[in-house]
Amino acid sequence: MIDSALHDRAGRRVTLRPVDDDNWRAVADVAPRDDQRAWVAALAARYLVLTMRSDVWTSLAVYADETVVGHVMWGVDDDGSRWIGGMVIDAAEQDRGVGRAAVRTLADWLATQGGPIRLSYHPDNVPAAALYTSLGFQPTGAMEDDELVAELTPA
């Protein structure tokens, strides 16, 4: 379990846990809002398949207390940089502070491994841009497909 002792606005403790025999169905069912499907997969199940087929990515379940509320994945690039991807908080659980706590928790943990921490987001994805920028991610100028690459700049 990855736990930075962070909470959402309802006071639920946000943790990141491996996807396992007990929680994989709940993780697979995590879904964004319909209007967010332009930016992310329609179901987190797509990211679970990706991580099963990939040597690079590892999926994690996002928990609020003991409830699965989202999916996120991390990976290591050839240059040693750490990447965050597949960040989806279930539509019914958004705007409660879970996404902020989840990204901070994963970034804190990846920071202990060394190397820059990067992610990418579509320029039109205003909530994601606001979240990542407020956490210290700054666009590098690079693009990954049609997404802006941003890197965490230590405070």
CB of 153 to ligand COA, least distance (A): 17
Residue nearest to ligand COA (CB): 99
Q: Please, which residue, 9 or 114, has the CB nearer to ligand COA?
A: 9
Q: Please, which residue, 19 or 40, has the CB nearer to ligand COA?
A: 40
CB of 23 to ligand COA, least distance (A): 18
CB of 86 to ligand COA, least distance (A): 8
Q: Please, which residue, 19 or 150, has the CB nearer to ligand COA?
A: 150
Question: C-alpha angle with apex 18: 48 to 16, nearest 5 degrees?
Answer: 105
Distance between CA atoms of residues 143 and 150, nearest Å: 9
CB of 147 to ligand COA, least distance (A): 7
Q: Given the rule CB under 6 A, which residues bind ligand COA?
A: 32, 36, 39-40, 87-89, 94-100, 121, 125-128, 130-131, 134
Q: Please, which residue, 76 or 91, has the CB nearer to ligand COA?
A: 91
> Do the Cβ atoms of 150 and 137 come closer than 8 Å?
yes
Give Cβ neighbours of residue 77 (< 8 Å, ≥ 6 apart): 56, 83, 118
Q: In the beta sheet, which residues pair with residue 2?
A: 16
The answer for 150, left when phi > 0, alpha when psi is -120 to 50, beta otherwise, is beta
User: What is the SS3 assignment for 21?
Assistant: coil
